[in-house]
Amino acid sequence: MKTIDELLREGVEGKRVFVRADLNVPLDGTTITDDGRIRAVVPTVKALADAGARVVVASHLGRPKGAPDSAFSLAPAAARLGELLGADVAFATDTVGDSATATVAGLADGQVAVVENLRFNAGETSKDDAERGAFADQLAALADIYVGDGFGAVHRKHASVFDLPARLPHYAGHLIATEVGVLKKLTEDVQRPYAVVLGGSKVSDKLGVIDHLLEKADRILVGGGMVFTFLKAQGHEVGSSLLQEDQIPVVQEYLERGKARGVEFVLPVDILVAPEFPDMKTKAPAHPETVAADAMPAGQMGLDIGPETRKLYASKLADAATVFWNGPMGVFEHPDYAEGTKAVAQALVDSPAFTVVGGGDSAAAVRILGFDEKAFGHISTGGGASLEYLEGKTLPGLAALED
């Protein structure tokens, strides 16, 4: 795929460049609680603006139902992008309507505009090729060149991700080029030992990546809500913990395959439990109890890995040459259940390995828990996209950028 570096050498002065970014940031009302994805696209936008392009930035935010919804407006993200660029950023109150047309027409060389949420238009996410294509035609009328830089959306066959690049000369932005380079280090040119840490709530969300990593990884450490399906698969009581019983046979098969292939599955030896899920609004003290992972009491809910498991996982990561981490170890948003996730993050910081934090909740946890992002080899902006790439799937947004 051609990259933005090639585009800049060709020259963009006076050209309208459509940048498909990922500004899908968490909001508390109109307040952005984590601006990591906005910061990630700044290098691409700044490089284009500095070279004299008229930059049109577009993104989705949340899951509106194909119609305008003020709760999902990109206005806060546009304002934050302007702050990070240190320049005024125009904002169109629609995506392909009168406001967008006028806003883009009013750009001078080196100026930037953000158009409203792409998903306010049903054509963006439509499964009908014609409807999606018609919306892509409208988007194409706003620009001369397409730059894909929304890595968090490249696994979606959406109009702005898949159909639009076919209508314009297309290039990969700095972020996508970096993300693909990192993922190749996790799949094609892996330095060993290769350790993978998987967490999060549902084991079903990770089945594909586990299946693929059984051919790649040397050890797989499991935590989060998904671990209780693993423990149940080994015959252990898991109390009232999150459990996907229908996935137990699949997990048992993975454990057997891992053993046969010499891939070490590392599971918790102790768990923090409580009678109920903590109050996430008040963050009131939860008073958890630490129990052995193979002796969880009935009626108790597992909410984080325990202190001995934290030590165990740190030791299993200490000698790794490559580490990929996706998914928290517990309910890290509550202080009583943050230590497991914090321990994994610290182990990656302390490791000399090439460390990759696989987006999503893991990336959020790194920032929320106060870690310096520069202490990690790479923090991905796309959790789902990263996982699908590691599963070996073809990602529509990357395929569309290929020549």
> What pLDDT does residue 383 have?
81
Residue 291 burial (C-beta neighbours within 10 Å; 0-12, 13-18, 19+): middle
The pTM assigned to this predicted structure is 0.88
> What pLDDT does residue 363 have?
87
Amino acid at 103: T
Selected catalytic residue, list 123, 173, 358, 360 = 360
Selected catalytic residue, list 20, 37, 132, 216 = 37
Residue 226: partners with Cβ closer than 8 Å, 6 or more residues away = 198, 199, 200, 201, 202, 203, 205, 206, 242, 244, 327
Selected catalytic residue, list 2, 39, 80, 202 = 202
Which residues are known binding-site members for substrate? Answer: 22-24, 37, 60-63, 119, 156
User: Helices 383-390 and 360-368 sit at what angle, rounded to 10 degrees?
Assistant: 130
Please tell me whether residue 289 adopts helix, strand or coil conformation: strand
Q: Which residues of the chain have pLDDT under 50?
A: none
Selected catalytic residue, list 223, 306, 330, 384 = 384
> What pLDDT does residue 396 have?
97
Domains located in the chain, CATH noted: 4-176 (3.40.50.1260), 190-391 (3.40.50.1260)
Peptide bond connecting 193 to the previous residue in cis, omega within 30 degrees of 0? yes
> What pLDDT does residue 289 have?
97
Neighbour count for residue 242 (Cβ, 10 Å): 18
Active site residue 202: yes
> What pLDDT does residue 189 have?
83
Active site residue 37: yes
Which residues are known binding-site members for ATP? Answer: 206, 302, 333, 359-362
> What pLDDT does residue 164 have?
98
Between vectors from CA 155 to CA 149 and to CA 157, what angle results, nearest 5°?
Answer: 95
Active site residue 392: no
Cα 221–chain centre separation: 19
> What pLDDT does residue 202 have?
86
Active site residue 384: yes
Which residues are known binding-site members? Answer: 22-24, 37, 60-63, 119, 156, 206, 302, 333, 359-362
Give phi and psi for 311, each to the nearest 5.
Answer: -65, -45
